[in-house]
Amino acid sequence: NAGVTQTPKFRVLKTGQSMTLLCAQDMNHEYMYWYRQDPGMGLRLIHYSVGEGTTAKGEVPDGYNVSRLKKQNFLLGLESAAPSQTSVYFCASSTTGFKQYFGPGTRLTVT
């Protein structure tokens, strides 16, 4: 039981490039989330999903898109990366929406 895994662990992008971050969970959780963490800002919700095929905007959704085609996977896309998207990205999943379990994070630098 691996819990929540994230791919890749590190990535450097140039401004304007695109990429997709993959989150996978093997706990059969309905809810999945993408957060970003910046110094002094805590965790901010980007997008979330309450089940397969559903997505919704969180607190800071601009510049990101998501898809949840399979229950176990939640993808976060950056279509045209900007330096302001340099951050650590965390995926989380939950069975109830309350107790959320986090992945190890992806460190993204946009130059």
Six token digits for residue 57:
């905007």
**Nearer to another protein among residue 17 and residue 52 (C-beta):** 52
Q: How far is the CB of 25 from another protein (least distance, A)?
A: 12
Cis amide prior to 8 (ω within 30 degrees): yes
Residue where the block lists tokens 């379990």: 101
Contacts with another protein, residue ranges (CB under 8 A) = 4, 31, 40-45, 48, 50, 56, 58-59, 90, 92, 94, 96-105
H or E element: which one contains 33?
A: strand 31-38
Q: How far is the CB of 15 from another protein (least distance, A)?
A: 26
